[in-house]
Amino acid sequence: MSDKRVDESWKARVEKERQGPERPSPATPPEEEKGGFPLFLSSLSMQALVALGELPHPATRAPQKDLEQARTLIDVLGMLQEKTRGNLTAEESRLLEDLLYELRMKYVEKTR
């Protein structure tokens, strides 16, 4: 009598494929790997600085003031501050607070 060996590892592979691709663990969200929340805040603040005429517009390389857009972006950052209160790291919270202060002061200066 011969010893038959049956490979049943294919069942585990099929079940794994059925469940779909592996998802990253909650401990390391993908956005953290790419800069995450601080990068998002910096992006919004740079857009506000462009709208305030503090930085040249990326497309035209010339300053273009749009105070309505600047105010909207500052308001969005303020809303994020309210909605994320208690859920940010100390560094993120401080960054958001500092960005808002600087942008608000520049906005007041530009609207006088």
In contact, 55 and 63? CB cutoff 8 Å:
yes
Tokens of 45: 């603040």
User: In Å, how far are 45, 47, 55, 59, 66 from 62, measured between CA atoms?
Assistant: 18, 14, 8, 8, 13
Exposure string over 53-85, b if 16+ CB within 10 A, otherwise e: bbeeeeeeeeeeeeeeebbebbeebeebbeeee
pLDDT at 96 over 90: yes
Render pLDDT for 58-72 as a digit per residue (tens, 0 to 9).
889 999 999 999 999
Model pLDDT, residue 9? 75
